[in-house]
């Protein structure tokens, strides 16, 4: 399958861009466990296709990050990528093509960088103009060597430092990223939080996740909007304590199970609401 044919197929699936990287180029970015998982999934792995799917639907007030307001991308991207996997399997009989979205052992962001798909932001997110960093990444791992032109790896962002200044908990610094301080991580973390982390969540304008480093990014000043209906229709911008009141775990999943913010269940959301209301959680 030629580069032009792949470009047409990716565009038809809603991707804003795509690239290819030999599997060997990613191995240094993978620990031994990830390499073992990748080889178990696809023995003799030869290459990785990586694609970016935009999700920006406008900046609207709310207490949820933009990526979690539409349908969970873990539900939307796999079927799109599986369609291309089926096309590739017909083109290359006997070869393996495995789609991945987060659950893959592959380092998706590094794959995107190595494939020349987008700039690497200081927050670790891939930036693809004109969509900015409002993109989801998906990969296809294959044992079929693909004769595709190799793009030069992408460079870093402009390094303006606005994301560092905007990070409310100091997770972003000139030295790098501290995941244990990131409010996106803390608002999804289960159980009771240590006092310093609890105080950070209590001050946070989001009830789950965080977009603050993205909203100040110059590359996100005027982003193009997504054309994927699942990411701009039926959005949930805000949750309130009343939305969760008296819901059992099953009822919560029935109502919100197709949203990314539901994967941890209602307990972490209730804890975050309690912290923001100044209540003590157990």
The answer to whether the beta carbons of residues 192 and 154 sit under 8 Å apart is no
Residue from 72, 102, 147, 237 carrying the catalytic annotation: 102
Distance in angstroms (rounded) separating the CA atoms of residues 178 and 3: 38
**How many CA atoms does the CB half-sphere of 139 hold within 13 Å?**
26
- Alpha-carbon separation of residue 230 from 12, 37, 69, 75, 148 (angstroms): 15, 30, 10, 10, 31
Rounded distance, CA 46 to CA 91, Å?
16
CA distance 65 to 217: 15
What Å distances lie between residue 196 and 165, 174, 177, 211, 213, CA to CA? 19, 22, 18, 21, 20
Radius of gyration for the alpha carbons in the chain, expressed in angstroms and rounded:
20
Conformation bin of residue 132: beta by default, left when phi > 0, alpha when psi is -120 to 50: left
| CA dist., res. 14 & res. 11, Å (int) | 5
Instruction: Tell me whether residue 102 is one of the annotated catalytic residues.
Output: yes
Q: Provide the CA 163 distance to its chain's centre, in angstroms.
A: 17
Tokens 């791992």 belong to residue: 141
Q: What is the DSSP letter of 156?
A: B
User: What positions carry a catalytic annotation?
Assistant: 102
């Amino acid at each position: 399958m030629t580069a032009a044919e792949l470009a047409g197929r990716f565009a038809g699936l809603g991707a804003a861009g795509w690239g290819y990287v030999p599997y060997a180029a990613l191995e240094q970015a993978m620990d031994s466990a990830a390499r073992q998982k990748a080889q178990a999934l696809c023995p003799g792995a030869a290459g990785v296709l990586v694609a970016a799917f935009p999700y920006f639907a406008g900046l609207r007030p709310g207490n949820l990050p933009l990526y979690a307001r539409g349908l969970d991308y873990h539900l939307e991207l796999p079927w799109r990528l599986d369609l291309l996997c089926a096309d590739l399997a017909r083109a290359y009989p006997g070869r393996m093509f495995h789609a991945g979205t987060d659950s893959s052992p592959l380092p998706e962001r590094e794959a995107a960088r190595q494939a020349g798909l987008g700039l690497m932001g200081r927050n670790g997110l891939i930036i693809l103009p004109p969509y900015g960093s409002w993109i989801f990444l998906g990969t296809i791992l294959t044992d079929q060597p693909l004769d595709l032109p190799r793009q030069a790896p992408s460079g870093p962002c402009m390094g303006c430092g606005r994301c560092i200044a905007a990070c409310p908990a100091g997770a972003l610094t000139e030295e790098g990223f501290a995941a244990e301080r990131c409010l996106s991580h803390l608002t999804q973390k289960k159980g009771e939080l240590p006092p310093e982390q609890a105080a950070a969540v209590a001050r946070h304008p989001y009830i789950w996740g965080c977009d603050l480093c993205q909203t100040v990014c110059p590359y996100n000043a005027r982003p193009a909007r997504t054309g994927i209906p699942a990411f701009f229709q039926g959005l949930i911008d805000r949750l309130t304590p009343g939305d969760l009141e008296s819901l059992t775990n099953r009822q919560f999943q029935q109502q919100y199970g197709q949203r990314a913010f539901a994967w941890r269940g209602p307990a972490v959301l209730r804890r975050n609401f309690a912290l923001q209301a100044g209540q003590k959680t157990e």
